[in-house]
């Protein structure tokens, strides 16, 4: 995989993936940016949600679960010193569907966290990672 990152002026950069998708990153106005894009550290958490969400949905699909919606809320804490790495992260799933099997949802969330999600496995090296879920009947 190859990613290219090109300066867009001031503190903004545009990343282009090897598949051609683009993401704009920028700093806040307080440090010379123009707030035109996500912060790089925000993108890490977005990547965590995407990676884990894909895992969970694939497993629930395979388990023939009638999921109608899946949302994640990610909360985090960062170190006070530089580098301000993540020290705590909670990934909370809200899975909505019809007659969802609680054991299958729990297992999918656990397997993503413990085995499949590459982003989670990287972040757990510096952050206390927790995962939670709730099931909502559609």
CATH code for the domain in which residue 70 is found = 3.30.300.20
Residue 24 belongs to domain with CATH number? 2.20.25
Indicate if 78 and 129 belong to the same structural domain.
Answer: yes
50 C-beta neighbours (distance < 10 Å), count: 13
Number of domains in the chain: 2
Full domain range(s) for residue 19: 1-38
CA distances to 68, 105, 119, 132 from 125, rounded to whole Å, are 33, 25, 10, 19
Q: Could you tell me which of 54, 12, 15 has the C-alpha nearest to residue 36? A: 12
pLDDT tens profile 6-49: 999 999 999 999 999 999 999 999 899 999 999 999 999 999 99
pLDDT average, residue stretch 117-130: 97
For residue 92, what are the β-bridge partners? 73, 132
Q: What's the pTM value of the predicted model, to 2 decimals?
A: 0.93
Note whether 61 and 109 are same-domain residues. yes
- Quote the pLDDT of residue 56: 98
User: Is there a single domain that holds both residue 77 and residue 17?
Assistant: no
């Amino acid at each position: 995989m190859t990613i290219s990152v090109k300066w867009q002026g001031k503190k903004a950069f545009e990343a282009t993936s090897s598949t051609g998708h683009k993401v704009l990153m920028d700093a806040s106005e307080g440090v010379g940016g123009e707030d035109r894009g996500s912060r790089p550290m925000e993108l890490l958490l977005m990547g965590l949600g995407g990676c884990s969400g894909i895992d969970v949905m694939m497993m629930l699909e395979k388990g023939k679960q009638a999921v109608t919606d899946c949302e994640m809320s990610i909360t985090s804490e960062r170190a006070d010193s530089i580098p301000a790495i993540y020290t705590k992260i909670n990934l909370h799933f809200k899975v909505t569907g019809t007659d969802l099997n609680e054991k299958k949802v729990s297992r999918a969330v656990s397997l993503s966290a413990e085995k499949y999600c590459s982003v989670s496995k990287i972040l757990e090296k510096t952050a206390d990672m927790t995962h939670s879920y709730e099931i909502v009947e559609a």
